[in-house]
Amino acid sequence: MAVVAAGAGRRVEVPVRRPSRRSVRWARLKRRVGDNVAAYAFLAAGLLCFGFFFSWYPLVRGILLSFQQDNLVADPYWVGLDNFHSLFRDPLFVTAWVNTVKFTGIALLFGYAIPFVLAIVLNELRHFRGFFRVTVYLPVMLPPIVSVLLWKYFYEPDSGLFNTILGGLHLPKSQWTQSPGMAMLSLVLVSTWANLGSATIIYLAGLQNIPGELYEAAELDGAGVWQRIRHVTIPQMRFLLLILLLLQIVATMQVFIEPLQLTGTTDPHTITVLVLVYRYAFTVNRDFGLAAAMSMLLFCVLAIFSALYLWLTREGDGA
């Protein structure tokens, strides 16, 4: 109640209408929205620009380009499925896919198993644990091209580090990237070293989520180290192992920097799908339509693994 002077010696009490809780909440909400509308507008504009110019537009443009012939000299024109027919007639088409699958298989043997074993070792350490974790992750912090150029120096046939060590041990030197039998393995070693840290850290996080009571029960039952890994560690990390398997397949099938920088675009023993795309677009053919058609085939293959990954993660969240 509010008191209002109405005359000499008289006071009149006028009731004051208090705002309801709903109106107070609505006023606060409008004030908050008004304060943040500019921020939301800038954020929405940035997201739209990023999604359009860096995601959807390149995807749609690549699909259309795969049905056109475009060499940046004349105006592009529609050729339909001729680009795909030209791909299937190219002998390097099968070679590139075989090399890509070969690289993926060998990379999984190294890049899938070694980080898991290394994570188990790091998880069991009691001293200098932080130092070794940082050391394992250091190669990931280097730009990919820096890692490849570093290993290119290591692989030099005359003055490279590896052959210098072999010469010091009076062992025969190796033509690491020049030898048909060693070239693919050399590429896998570079890729494994550069990406070892990421997979190891993910495995290590999964290992630390396993309840210690399971290992204690296994030890009481007389289980050794290998039995504990087989019957406790692997079953508990089954979902994480499957997810990382799919992610590494998607990543290794897109190998590009290692073969391009170490062996070039002409070596038939190491040419991969993306290197062939680069060859079609920028070196021999200079046909962006042909390169886009090859990219679309790789996109379809990787979309299958990506869909499987999304389905598994959804099932895992539901469980």
Q: What is the per-residue pLDDT across 28-43, written as a single tens digit (0 to 9) for each?
A: 766 776 667 777 777 8
Residue-level length of the chain = 319
Does residue 74 sit within a domain? no
Domain co-membership, 149 together with 185: yes
pLDDT digit string (tens) for 13-22? 545 556 566 6
User: Rounded to whole angstroms, what are the CA distances from 51 to 56, 59, 64, 251, 254?
Assistant: 6, 11, 18, 22, 22
| Tokens read off for 102 | 């070969």
Residue 54, domain extent: 21-65
- What secondary structure letter does DSSP report for 175? -
Distance from C-alpha of 33 to C-alpha of 26, rounded to nearest angstrom: 11
Residue 2's pLDDT band, with cuts at 50, 70 and 90, is very low
Distance from C-alpha of 123 to C-alpha of 135, rounded to nearest angstrom: 14
Domain co-membership, 53 together with 96: no
Maximum average pLDDT range among 80-84, 128-132, 229-233: 80-84
Domain co-membership, 98 together with 55: no
pLDDT at 274 over 90: yes
Distance from C-alpha of 204 to C-alpha of 291, rounded to nearest angstrom: 40
pLDDT digit string (tens) for 243-269? 888 888 888 999 999 999 998 888 888
Q: Phi and psi of 210, rounded to 5°? A: -80, 125
CA angle 150, 253, 104 (to 5 degrees): 80
| Tokens read off for 168 | 């010091």
CA angle 14, 16, 20 (to 5 degrees): 160
Given the structure tokens 């994480």, which residue do they identify? 240
Distance from C-alpha of 81 to C-alpha of 74, rounded to nearest angstrom: 20
Domain co-membership, 223 together with 286: yes
Domain co-membership, 125 together with 163: yes
pLDDT digit string (tens) for 106-157? 998 888 888 888 888 888 877 887 888 888 888 888 888 899 999 998 998 8
